[in-house]
């Protein structure tokens, strides 16, 4: 059992090590500052600037979380606190069903439904012109993909709050909503943060669905209606030319390493926040 645990915890380092080994070729040929901050991506000319991809990844993921968190939290609160048992028994499986839908199906649906929605309705509403393939499309599809995770875990967390806490608050004269807002949420906060982190992790890595709707233009976006090019999409799209252009395989493995580092640092930051909250609540 100990071996199994050690094995699973060490895999991350194993992956990072392999990526670093193969990616080191490009690290030795090109200065790190150029790799991380240059915006020019012309592999045939030997120019590998990852900046647009890093920024693109952040834009799409951040937008997805901004769209997902409020909806998920409110849904979880409703399912845990207000819904009757029969409603809950119908809603929960429906939400969980979303988790089972393959990424490609989301991508196809995004192309057929979300992209025209943005192009024909949302963008003109905001006064922007766009093809529809944009950060917003990627964010919306991603948000829907992380719904089941965040709602599921948050709902469990809310239900795990001991009933005595609610009773105490109600006894003091608080309304149901005040109870939820001030008491239950405070107790459930660490769990909810953990749920959001899980959601973020899925959002960072989703490849197929995002690359079908996000536009894939290697230029840092300046508005949600601009196309973007997240790192997973870069790797999936360019895998084909890996063997054909010198240094390209090394560059793509470096992209994978950067993605790993971003997710890793995010996890660490989230852990720190979690610890602070738990300490604060004690």
Partner 1 sequence: MNKRGTILIAIILVILTATFAYGYFPNQDLEGTIKVSGAWALYPMMVEWAEEFQRIHPKVRIDLSAGGAGKGMTDVLGGLVDMGMISREIYPEEIQRGALGVAVCKDAVVPTVNKGNPVLNDLLTRGIKRRTFMDVWVSGNVTSWGEVVGRPEVKAKIHVYTRSDACGAAETWANYLRCRQEGLLGVGVYGDPGLAEAVKNDPFGIGFNNLNYAYDNSTGKPIEGLMVAPIDLNANGQVDENENFYDTKAKLLEAIATGVYPSPPARDLYVVAKGEFKGLAKEFVKWILTGGQQHVSQTGYIQLSKEKLAEELKKLS
Binding-residue total with partner 1 (CB under 8 A):
31
Tokens (6 digits) for 182? 């001030």
- Interface stretch with partner 1, choices 13-21, 54-62, 85-93, 112-120 (CB under 8 A): 112-120
Total number of residues shown for the chain: 282
Among 9, 164, 240, 279, binds partner 1 (CB under 8 A): 240
Choice between 175 and 222, CB closer to partner 1: 222
Q: Does 129 bind partner 1 (CB under 8 A)?
A: yes
Q: Does 242 bind partner 1 (CB under 8 A)?
A: yes
- Interface stretch with partner 1, choices 1-9, 113-121, 198-206, 270-278 (CB under 8 A): 113-121
Binding mask 130-159 for partner 1 (x = CB under 8 A): -xxx--------------------------
Instruction: Identify the sign of the CA torsion 6, 12, 13, 18.
Output: positive
Q: Does 250 bind partner 1 (CB under 8 A)?
A: no
Among 23, 110, 227, 230, binds partner 1 (CB under 8 A): 227
Among 7, 37, 42, 82, binds partner 1 (CB under 8 A): 42
| Distance (Å, whole) CA 180 – CA 81 | 8
**Residue 204 half-sphere exposure toward CB, CA atoms < 13 A:** 20
Question: What are the residues binding partner 1 (CB under 8 A)?
Answer: 41-44, 111, 115-116, 119, 129, 131-133, 211-212, 215-217, 227, 229, 233, 236-246
């Amino acid at each position: 059992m100990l071996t199994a645990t050690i094995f699973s915890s060490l895999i991350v380092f194993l992956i990072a090590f392999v990526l670093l080994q193969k990616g080191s070729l490009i690290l030795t040929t090109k200065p790190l500052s150029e790799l991380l901050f240059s915006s020019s991506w012309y592999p045939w000319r030997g120019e590998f600037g990852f900046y647009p991809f890093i920024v693109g990844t952040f834009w799409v993921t951040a937008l997805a979380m901004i769209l997902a968190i409020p909806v998920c939290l409110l849904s979880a609160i409703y399912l845990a606190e207000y819904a009757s048992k029969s409603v809950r028994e119908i809603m929960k499986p429906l939400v969980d069903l979303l988790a089972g839908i393959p990424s490609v199906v989301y991508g196809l649906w995004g192309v057929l439904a979300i992209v025209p929605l943005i192009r024909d309705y949302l963008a003109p509403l905001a006064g922007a012109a766009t093809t529809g393939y944009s950060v917003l499309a990627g964010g919306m599809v991603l948000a829907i993909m992380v719904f089941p995770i965040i709602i599921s875990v948050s709902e469990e967390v809310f239900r795990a709050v001991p009933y005595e806490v609610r009773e105490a608050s109600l006894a003091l004269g608080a309304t149901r909503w005040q109870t939820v807002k001030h008491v239950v949420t405070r107790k459930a906060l660490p769990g909810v943060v953990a749920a959001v982190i899980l959601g973020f992790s899925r959002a960072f890595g989703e490849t197929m669905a995002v690359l079908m709707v996000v536009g894939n233009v290697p230029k840092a976006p300046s508005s949600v209606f601009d196309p973007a090019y997240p790192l997973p999409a870069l790797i999936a799209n360019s895998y084909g030319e890996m063997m054909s252009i010198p240094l390209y395989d090394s560059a793509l493995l470096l992209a994978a390493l950067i993605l790993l580092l971003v997710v890793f640092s995010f996890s660490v930051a989230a852990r720190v926040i979690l610890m602070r909250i738990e300490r604060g609540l004690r």
